[in-house]
Chains A and B, each alone.
Chain A
Amino acid sequence: MSVSTLDTPAPSANTRLTAALPWVAITATLIVLPLLFSSNSMISTLNYLGTMAIFALSYNVLLGQTGLLSLGHGTFFGLGGFIATHAILHMADAGVSFPLPLIPAIGGFGALILGFFGGWLASGRGGMPFAMITLGLAELVYAAAALFPSIYGSEEGVSFDRMDLGASFGMDYGPTVDIYVIIAVWFLICAGVLYYFSKTPLGLLTNAVRDNAERIEFLGFSARRVRMLAYAIAAAVAGVAGSLAALNFEIMTVNEMGATTCMLVLLMTYIGGTKHFFGPVLGAIVIGLMKIWLSDISPAWMMYFGLLFIFVVMVQPAGLAGILMDGIALLRSGSVGAQAPLLGLIGLAGAFALTGTIILIELAYRAGLDATLGPQITVLGLPLSTASVLSWGLGLICAGGGVIAMRPLFDRLATLRHSLSKGETA
C-alpha cells in the first residue's frame, strides 16, 4: 500500500507555504500594532502583553507538551529578570558596550543553567511529586532572596536605566516603542524556537512522557531526562520573558518571582488553551488586558478573573483556543444557517446571564467593600442603588433567567445537530 500521505522528507512548496502562513500573519500583526495603537500607554500595554505571551508559551512546554504541572515557573521569570538587571548594571559600571536587545539572551542563558539544576531536582517523577517539588523550590528561592538584598534588592527592588548601555541598532532605548521592537523580535524568536522544538525528536518524546511516562522507558528513553530537558528549555524562555519585563519597567522586584507570578502564568496558559500551540498567547492577551483594564474600571476584577477560569474549566478544557477552534469548525461545517437562530438565542441568554452576574457582583462589592462610596452606582450604564430592591431584583432576574433559559436551548441545539449530522450521512 502506498503511504504517500505520510510526511515525506521534502515537503512540497505548497505545504511549506501553508505552514509559513500563520508566521507571516503574526509578523504582520506585530508590525501593524504599534502603528494602530501609538500612544505611550498603549505601547506599554503591548510590551506587557508580549512578555506575558512569551512567558505563557514557555510554561506550555511543561503543562501542555510534557504534561507537567509546575507551581514554580515564576522563579525563572524572576531569576532571568535579575540576571538581566545585574548584567546591565555591571556592564554600565565597567563601561562595556553591549547592545541592549541582546541582554535577554544573557537572562535566558542564566535561567537555562538554573533550569537544568532545578530540573535535575524536580524531574524524578511527574504528577504530584513534580508539582510539590517545583512549589518547594519556588518558595525556597523566594525566601532566600530576602537574605541577599544586594542581589535582589529590598522592598523597592533593583532599578536601572536602560539607556546606560548606549545606543545600538539605531535606537537609544529611551522611548517605549524601542522596547516594543525588542520584545516583538524576541517574541518571534521564542515562538519560532519553541514551535520548532515541538517538532523535534525531543519534542515528540515530551508528548510521549505526557501520555505514558512508563512506556517511554521500555523504548530505551529516560522519562526523567526528558522532563529535565523540557524543564530547562521552559526555564530559559521564561528567563528571556523576565529579562524583557525588566527592560520594559527598568526595575526588578522579588515579587516578580513570587507565588502570584507562578499562579498567573498557570492561569494564562490554561485559560488560553494548552492543546494548541498559540493558545497560551491568547490567554496571555485576554488575562493581561483584564488585569490592566478591568482593574481600572471595577474593584471586582479578581472575581471576574476567577469566574472566567471556572467557566473555561467547566465548558471547554481546551481553553479559549478550543472555543475558537470550535467556532471555526462550526463556520466550516456549512450548517451555520440552520443553527443560527438557536445560537443567537443562546447568545442572548448568555448575555442576560452575564449582565445579571455583573450587576449582582458590582452591587455586592459596593454594598460590602466600598460601602463608604455611597449606595448609588452606575453599572453598564444603568443607574442602580444598593438600597433598592429593584436593582437587586433586576440582577437576579437577568442572571437567573439567562441561566434557566440556557438548558432547554442547549438541548434543542443538540437535537438539531444530531438531525443535521444524520441528514449528512443519509
Chain B
Amino acid sequence: MTHALELRNLKKSFGSVEIIRGVNLDLRQGERHALIGPNGAGKSTLFHLISGRIAPTSGEILFQSQNIAGKPPAEIVRAGLSRSFQITNIFPQMSVLDNLRCAVLWKLGHRYSIFRQTPTLPDVAIECERLLDQLGLTRRAHDTADSLTYPEQRALELGLAVASGANTLLLDEPMAGMNHSETEAALQLIMKVTEGKTLLMVEHDMGVIFEMADRISVLVYGQIIATGTPQEIRANRAVQEAYLGTSEEDAA
C-alpha cells in the first residue's frame, strides 16, 4: 500500500510550549481521512505544518515519498498538495471567475506570463467553466467574491483548493458556521469535487464524519491517540474518554 502522505514523529514548539508532540499519521492513496479532536488539540497547527504555512520543529512530512517539511507553501502546492482554510481566505475584490483563474494558472503552465491576455486563454476558460459548474457558482461568475453568501464563499474557498489541481487535499473545517441544510449541501459538494482524490479533513460535525470518512484519526494534546475506521473509533475506549463521549451527546 502506497501512502499519499506520511507524518513521522512530527513536532512543533512555540517557545517552550510543545503544541504538536510527535504525530505519526499516514494517508492512503484515495482515502477520505477525518481528523478530529477537542479544541486546542492542534488540528489547525498540524494543517499549517503540512501545508507549509509554518515550519515544524522536528520530524518528517513525506508526500509521495518526498520530505516536504519546512518547504514554502507554493512548492508544496506545485508538488500536488493543496488546502482550504477554516476562515474563508479568498480574493474579496476580484470576481469569482478571476479567483478561479488565479487558482488554475499554475497547473496550466501560464504562471507569470505577460504575453497573452487571460480571458483569451482557451484552456483557462474551459477549466474555469467546469469548476464554476461543479461549484454551482456559474451565475455568480462575474460578481465580486465578497458579495457572495457565506455558503457560496465556502464553496469558492473549496474551489480554490481543488482548482490548483492537487491530488491530495487538506480541508480545514469546510462546514464551519453552516446550518443543517447548508452542511448537507456542502457535504455533497465536497464528495463531488474531491472524487478520486485523497482527502484529509478537520471537521466537528460527527454526523458528517461518520457519513463520509473511510478512516478517522483522533488528535488530543498534540498526539494521535487512535486511528481507525469509524466503527473502530466509536468503540475505542481511549477516544470515548478523551473526546467522543461528550461530543456525541453534544451532537445529539
A residues lining the B interface (CB < 8 Å): 1, 3, 5-9, 11, 196-197, 199-205, 207-208, 210-212, 214-222, 225-226, 229
**A3/B132 in contact, CB under 8 A:** yes
- Please tell me if B199 contacts chain A, counting CB pairs below 8 Å: no
Identity of the chain A residue whose Cβ is nearest the Cβ of B83 in the assembled complex: A218
| Whole-angstrom distance between the Cβ of B83 and the nearest chain A Cβ | 6
**B83/A201 in contact, CB under 8 A:** no
**A207/B94 in contact, CB under 8 A:** yes
Residue of B115, B120, B128, B161 most packed against chain A (CB within 10 A): B120
Question: A207-B91, A220-B77 in contact; A7/B119 too (CB < 8 A)?
Answer: yes
**B98/A204 in contact, CB under 8 A:** yes
| Whole-angstrom distance between the Cβ of B220 and the nearest chain A Cβ | 27
Q: Please name the 6 residue pairs, one residue from A and one from B, whose CB atoms are nearest each other, closest first.
A: A7-B119, A220-B106, A211-B91, A199-B117, A217-B73, A220-B77
| Whole-angstrom distance between the Cβ of A224 and the nearest chain B Cβ | 10
**B74/A221 in contact, CB under 8 A:** yes
Which B residues touch A1, using CB under 8 A?
A: 133, 138-139
| Whole-angstrom distance between the Cβ of B135 and the nearest chain A Cβ | 12
A216 to B117, CA, bound (A): 19
Which B residues touch A11, using CB under 8 A?
A: 119-120
- Please tell me if B141 contacts chain A, counting CB pairs below 8 Å: yes
Residue of A204, A207, A210, A225 most packed against chain B (CB within 10 A): A204
- Please tell me if B116 contacts chain A, counting CB pairs below 8 Å: yes
**A204/B101 in contact, CB under 8 A:** yes
Which B residues touch A211, using CB under 8 A?
A: 91-94
**B114/A197 in contact, CB under 8 A:** yes
**B118/A204 in contact, CB under 8 A:** yes
- Please tell me if B218 contacts chain A, counting CB pairs below 8 Å: no
Could you say which interface size class chain B belongs to? 35 or more
16 other A-B residue contacts (CB within 8 Å) besides A221-B74, A221-B105: A6-B125, A6-B129, A9-B120, A9-B121, A200-B113, A201-B101, A201-B121, A203-B114, A204-B101, A210-B93, A215-B160, A218-B74, A218-B83, A219-B102, A221-B112, A225-B112
- Please tell me if B90 contacts chain A, counting CB pairs below 8 Å: yes
- Please tell me if B21 contacts chain A, counting CB pairs below 8 Å: no
| A-contacting residues, B137-182, CB 8 Å | 138-139, 141-142, 160-161, 163-164
**B112/A201 in contact, CB under 8 A:** yes
**B116/A201 in contact, CB under 8 A:** yes
Identity of the chain B residue whose Cβ is nearest the Cβ of A197 in the assembled complex: B114
Which B residues touch A205, using CB under 8 A?
A: 102, 105, 112
| Whole-angstrom distance between the Cβ of A424 and the nearest chain B Cβ | 20
Identity of the chain A residue whose Cβ is nearest the Cβ of B98 in the assembled complex: A204
What does DSSP make chain A's interface, helix, strand, loop or mixed? Answer: helix
**B110/A220 in contact, CB under 8 A:** no
Identity of the chain B residue whose Cβ is nearest the Cβ of A2 in the assembled complex: B138
Which A residues touch B161, using CB under 8 A?
A: 218
A225 to B163, CA, bound (A): 21
**B160/A219 in contact, CB under 8 A:** yes
Give how many A-B residue pairs fall within 8 Å (CB-CB).
123
- Please tell me if B240 contacts chain A, counting CB pairs below 8 Å: no
| Residue from the list A9, A202, A218 in contact with B82, Cβ < 8 A | A218
A5 to B74, CA, bound (A): 32
- Please tell me if B190 contacts chain A, counting CB pairs below 8 Å: no
**B90/A218 in contact, CB under 8 A:** no
Which B residues touch A218, using CB under 8 A?
A: 51, 73-74, 77, 82-83, 160-161, 164
Which B residues touch A9, using CB under 8 A?
A: 120-122, 125
**B106/A221 in contact, CB under 8 A:** yes
Question: A218-B82, A229-B112 in contact; A5/B102 too (CB < 8 A)?
Answer: no
**A6/B74 in contact, CB under 8 A:** no
Identity of the chain B residue whose Cβ is nearest the Cβ of A220 in the assembled complex: B106
- Please tell me if B97 contacts chain A, counting CB pairs below 8 Å: yes
| Whole-angstrom distance between the Cβ of A409 and the nearest chain B Cβ | 31
**A214/B89 in contact, CB under 8 A:** yes
A215 to B115, CA, bound (A): 24
Which B residues touch A6, using CB under 8 A?
A: 97, 125, 128-129, 141
15 pairs from A and B in contact (CB 8 Å cutoff):
A9-B121, A199-B117, A201-B110, A201-B114, A203-B114, A204-B102, A205-B105, A205-B112, A211-B91, A211-B94, A218-B83, A218-B160, A219-B160, A219-B164, A221-B112
- Please tell me if B78 contacts chain A, counting CB pairs below 8 Å: yes
| Whole-angstrom distance between the Cβ of A66 and the nearest chain B Cβ | 13
A204 to B74, CA, bound (A): 17
- Please tell me if B107 contacts chain A, counting CB pairs below 8 Å: yes
| Whole-angstrom distance between the Cβ of B160 and the nearest chain A Cβ | 7
Which A residues touch B114, using CB under 8 A?
A: 197, 200-203
**A201/B138 in contact, CB under 8 A:** no
Residue of A1, A197, A208 most packed against chain B (CB within 10 A): A208
**A215/B77 in contact, CB under 8 A:** no
| Whole-angstrom distance between the Cβ of A343 and the nearest chain B Cβ | 28
A200 to B138, CA, bound (A): 22
- Please tell me if B72 contacts chain A, counting CB pairs below 8 Å: yes
Identity of the chain B residue whose Cβ is nearest the Cβ of A8 in the assembled complex: B125
- Please tell me if B20 contacts chain A, counting CB pairs below 8 Å: no
**B115/A200 in contact, CB under 8 A:** yes
A211 to B101, CA, bound (A): 14
**B78/A3 in contact, CB under 8 A:** no
Question: A6-B129, A204-B98, A222-B74 in contact; A199/B119 too (CB < 8 A)?
Answer: yes
- Please tell me if B239 contacts chain A, counting CB pairs below 8 Å: no
Identity of the chain B residue whose Cβ is nearest the Cβ of A1 in the assembled complex: B138
Identity of the chain A residue whose Cβ is nearest the Cβ of B75 in the assembled complex: A220
Which A residues touch B133, using CB under 8 A?
A: 1, 3
Which A residues touch B74, using CB under 8 A?
A: 217-222
A229 to B161, CA, bound (A): 25
| Whole-angstrom distance between the Cβ of B55 and the nearest chain A Cβ | 14
A424 to B5, CA, bound (A): 57
**A207/B98 in contact, CB under 8 A:** yes
Q: Mark B52-85, 1 if CB is under 8 A from A, else 0.
A: 0000000000000000000011100110001101
A203 to B101, CA, bound (A): 12
- Please tell me if B49 contacts chain A, counting CB pairs below 8 Å: no
A401 to B21, CA, bound (A): 70
